[in-house]
Structure 1
Amino acid sequence: MPPSLSPSPTLLTPLLPPKTLVGIDLVTFTSTPQFHGIRDLPNGWHFLYTGTTESLSLRCGGWFYVGDTSALENDISDGAVASRSSEHPGPEVFVWKWDSDSEILAPLKGGNVVEKQEAMRYKANLGAIWQSGGLFRYRSRVSSTPGGGRRVAAQDEYDEEDEEEGRRDWAGLTNHLFPRLLSRIVGQPDIDVGGRPRWMVTSASTAGRDTEHIPGLSSPGREYAEGATESEFSFLPIDLKRTWREGAIGRERTEAAQDRSWALGDLINRYGDTGRDRSGEAQILGELQFTFLMVLTLMNYSCLQQWKRLLGLLLTCRTAIKDRELFFRDVLKLLLLQLQRCDDLEGGFFEVDSDEGGEFLRKLLIKFSMYVGEIVGGEESAVKTELARLEDWVKSEFGWELQPEPIVRRGMLQLEDGEQVEMEISGNEDEETGEYAPLVVDLDEGGTADDDVDMGVHMR
C-alpha cells in the first residue's frame, strides 16, 4: 500500500513532548522529536490516547470519527454534532494541541479569534510538516522488533496483508459504536474548531457503582484543559441479583433468576427506540465494544467490570437464544474477535483486576454451550455455528473445553471388604441439579432475598 500522494485525513499534535506514550486504535509507540501527527487516517471511528509513561501513569484519550458524519447525525441528541458540509472543503484535519498543565491532547475548539487563527496556522503549515517527515502514516498494527518490543512510529515498512487484517479487526471491534451511545456513556462531546466531536475518556474514568465512596469526600469530576470536566460513566444498569419483573412471585421469579432472558429483553426495550428492537440490541453490542476497548487501551477498571456484567447477563439467557438468534450470533462473533486481541494488552487482559484469569468467562461459556444444546438441539442455527467457531478457538488457544466430558452416573463400587454396591450420582455443581439445584423457600412478607438469590436460593 503506497503512501498517499494527495492530502488525506490527518491529525496534528502540536507541542507534544518527545518520549510521550501515544496510542492510536490498537497501536502504541513512543513519540520522537520529529513526530507531529498522523496522516492517512481511514474513515470510521478512532481512539487516540497518551500517557506520560508506558505504565503506571494516567492515560487520557478521545474518540473521534473520520468521514462524512451525515449518516450518524440522527444519532446525536439536540443536534450536538453537525455533519460535514461545504463549509469544510478538502481533507479533514484535526488539531489536538498538547496542554502542559493537564498533560493531555485537547482539540482546539475555536471559541475565540486567537484559537481560530492558531488552527489556521497549523493547517497552513501542513505541507511543510508532511515534506519534513513529521507526519507518520496510520497503521493498524506494529510488528515486533527481532529483539522484542515495539518498533517506533518512524518506520514505514509493513506487510500489506497484515495491515489489512488489522484494519478489518478494528472495524469489527467498533462497528456497533455510534454518537448517541458514546454521549450516553461518556457525556456530551467537546466540539473542535472544525465542528467535529471528541468524546474524552481516561484510565481513571469510572461509573458510580464501581467507585469506592469515602464518607466526607466527594469526587465531582476532574478538571482538564480548557474547562473540560471528566464525567461519570452512564452504563446500562445491570443487576444480576434481580433479573425478574417488579411484582413477580413464585415460579416466575425462580425461572427469571435461572434464565435471564426477561432481564435482557427489558434492557433492550428500555434503551431502544420505540418499535425498533434492534436499536436496543445495538446499545448492548456498542457498550460491549466500548468497555472492552477501554480496558485494552486504557486499562480502565470500571469498564472491565461492566464488560463482565454484560457477559454475565448475555451468557446466562436461555429462551432468548432462539428468540434473538441474530443478536446472539453477533455477540458471539464479537466475543471471539475480542478474545483474539486480548494479548494486545501487556500483562494480559484478564489480569487487570485479579489473578483468576479468564475463569469467570470459561464457566459462563460452559453453561451457555449447554443452554444452546438444550434450546437449539439438532436444528440449524447461526448461534450454534458461531459458538462452534468460538469453542474451537478457546480450546486451541486457552485449552478450554466447553463441552463437559460425560460423567458416569451409575455403577458398581467395590468396598474395602470386597462387597460391591451400586452407586448413583444425582447431580453436579455445573448442572445445577440434585443438591446443587436452586432451592425454593418461603420468606416472611417484607423480607429480602437478594443475597440468597445470588447463591442459587430463590423465593416463592
Structure 2
Amino acid sequence: MSSPLQPSPTILLPHLPPKTLVGIDLITFTSTANFHGIRDLPKGWHFLYTGTTESLSLRCGAWFYVGDISTAGHGQNDSAIVVRDQNTGPEILIWKWNTDTESLSSLRENHDEDRQEAMRFKANLGGIWQTGGLFRYRSRVSPAMLSNQPGTTTESTQSAPQAEDDEETEESGRRDWQQLTDWISPSLLTRIIGNPEIDVNGHPRWDLTSAGTADRDADHIPGLDKPKEQPREDSETPENRAEEEKELGFLPIDLKQTWRVGAIGRERTDAAQDRSWALGDLILRNSTSVSGEITVDERTGEIQLLGELQFTFLMVITMMNFSCLQQWKRLLGLILTCRQAIIDRETFMSDVVRLLLCQLQRCDDVEGGLFEIDGDEGGKFLLDLLKKLRRSVDQVVEKGTQSKVKTELERLGAWVKEEYDWELAHEDILKRGTIQLEDGEEIEVEMEDNDEYEETGEYAPVIVDLDESSVVSDVVSDDGEMSDLDDMRY
C-alpha cells in the first residue's frame, strides 16, 4: 500500500451523498457516509458516473485520463495498465458534488475559490486515507469485496490462494478495460461530446449524461421542439452545462445509400450489396493528411471508427444511452456487410472482429443484458450481420490462404456458438425440412431469412423488358446525363 505522503493517482469526491449510485469503468456500487473517493487509479482512460437511483434516474458521467494523455488512442499498449511513472507527482482529481444539478463537477481552472478549495482537500488527503474513506480501484468485483463495501475502514482477510485468484481476476479485468478503450482519443471525445472542461490542475474531462443524443436519434415533434438558443455569457457555469442536453457528434452513416453520387446500374447494385465503398469514403473523410501533403493517412480514419465503436458500446453498458446503441448498430451494419474490405482493409476488419468479441464478452454488464434492452429484436440483428460476414469471408478468402479476418472470425464464431448457440456457417444450418405434428400430419417448414440466401421471394432477380427506343430515350436525357435507370438491378 502506498504511503499517505506519496499517494497514488486518486479522485476525490467530497460531499457525495450516501446511497448514491457510483460507477467507475465496469463496476458500480452504492456510496456510504464514509466514502470520499477512489485511490490507486491505473494509467489510461476512466469513466466515472453517478445516479441518484440505480435504474430510474438520469446518469451523469465524465471521461478522464490518468497518465500521459498524448499516448491515448494508439491501440494496444500493455504497459499502460500496470506501469506508473515515478518521475512525476501523483495525480489528484477533485470532483465536488453539486446539489443543484445532482451531479459531480470539477473545480474550475480560473476561479480563486476553487483553487483554494482544491488545496484544502489535498491537505486533508492523508487523514481521509487513514480513516478508510478511499475505495481502492478495482476493475471487477471479486467475492472478497462483497463483504467489504466501499467506504469501510478495513479490508477483508484473505487466504493466499484466494488473494492470488483475486489478483488474476483483477489483471484480467484491467486487460478487458484496456481492450475496450485503447482506440479512444482526446480528439474523438471532443468530436463526439464537445470541448472538455479543464480543472484547477489542468486535467481535461469530457462530461455527458444518459440523455445525450445525436440529432438523428432525437424525437422531433413539430411545434413542441424548443428552438436552439444562442449561448449566453454565463453558459460556462456547471449549472447551465448540466441543464443543456448534449448533442452527440457521431460519424454520419446512411445505410440506405452506400454508393457514390452519380452511380447507376451494376455499380449501384454492387455498392448496395457490398458496402466497402461507403466504408472507404467514411474513412477517407475522417483521415488526416501527412505533413500537409496530398498523401492521406487512412489509418487515422480507421482509428476514428474503432474508437467510436468503443465509445458507443461503453456508453450503452454504463449509461444505457439509446442514441449510442443505435450508432453502435449502424457502425456494425456498415462494417460487417463489407466484402472487398476484407482483403483491402484486412488489419482494420480484423481489429473490428477482435473488438466485437471483447465487447460481447462484457455485454451482460448492462442491467438486463445488452440484447434484452434492444426490444423484441434482441441479438438477431447481430447474428444476421455475422452470418453475412462469414459468408463474405468464405467467398473472398481462398482456401488455404492466411487471413487475419478469418482467424478472428473463427474465434468469435466459437465463442458465440458456446455462449448463445449461434451458428455462423450458413451451410451448417438446416434451412428447409419436414416436421410431424402430434396428430401425425407432416408439414414443410423453412427458415425465415432463407430468401435472401437463395435469392428467392423478394430477393429474386427482376427482369425488365425494354425496347430499343425506350432504352435510348430513358438512358440519355437532353443534357446528356443518365436518368431513369438508376434503380435498375442487374
Q: Could you state the TM-score of these two structures normalised by the residue count of structure 2? A: 0.80
Deviation sequence 1:67-106 (CA, Å, 0-9, x none): 02244599xxxxxxxxxx9xx9621000000000100001
The 8 Å contact of residues 211 and 245 in structure 2, kept in 1 or not, is answered as: no
The 8 Å contact of residues 59 and 209 in structure 2, kept in 1 or not, is answered as: yes
Q: 1:241 to 1:10 in 2, by over 3 A?
A: same
- Pairing of 1:7-406 with structure 2 (within 5 A): 7-71=7-71, 90-143=89-142, 152-154=149-151, 156=155, 159-219=166-226, 220=228, 225-228=238-241, 229-274=244-289, 275-378=296-399, 379-405=401-427
The 8 Å contact of residues 347 and 404 in structure 2, kept in 1 or not, is answered as: yes
The 8 Å contact of residues 431 and 450 in structure 2, kept in 1 or not, is answered as: no
Deviation sequence 1:212-233 (CA, Å, 0-9, x none): 1112233549988343244200
Deviation at 1:170, TM superposition (A): 0.1
| SS in structure 1 of the partner of residue 172 of structure 2 | helix
Q: Within 2, Cα distance between the matches of 1:408 and 1:398? A: 18
Asked whether 1:433 is paired with 2:440, we answer: no
Q: 1:21 to 1:391 in 2, by over 3 A?
A: same
Q: Within 1, Cα distance between the matches of 2:269 and 2:249? A: 29
Deviation sequence 1:339-388 (CA, Å, 0-9, x none): 00011112111122312210100011011100000011311111110000
Deviation at 1:36, TM superposition (A): 0.2
Alpha-carbon RMSD across the aligned residues, in angstroms, is 3.0
| Total equivalences in the alignment | 421
The 8 Å contact of residues 142 and 151 in structure 1, kept in 2 or not, is answered as: no
Q: Within 1, Cα distance between the matches of 2:70 and 2:422? A: 44
The 8 Å contact of residues 20 and 52 in structure 1, kept in 2 or not, is answered as: yes
Aligned-partner residue type, residue 178 of structure 2: A
Q: 1:232 to 1:243 in 2, by over 3 A?
A: same
Q: Within 2, Cα distance between the matches of 1:459 and 1:233? A: 37
Deviation at 1:459, TM superposition (A): 5.6
Q: 1:215 to 1:68 in 2, by over 3 A?
A: same
Deviation sequence 1:2-21 (CA, Å, 0-9, x none): x3333110000011000000
Structure 1, gaps ≥5 residues long: 75-84, 412-426, 447-452
The 8 Å contact of residues 46 and 65 in structure 2, kept in 1 or not, is answered as: yes
Percent identical among aligned pairs is 61
Q: 1:323 to 1:115 in 2, by over 3 A?
A: same
Q: Could you state the TM-score of these two structures normalised by the residue count of structure 1? A: 0.85
| SS in structure 1 of the partner of residue 280 of structure 2 | helix
Q: Within 2, Cα distance between the matches of 1:352 and 1:18? A: 29
Aligned-partner residue type, residue 225 of structure 1: P
Q: Within 2, Cα distance between the matches of 1:356 and 1:231? A: 28
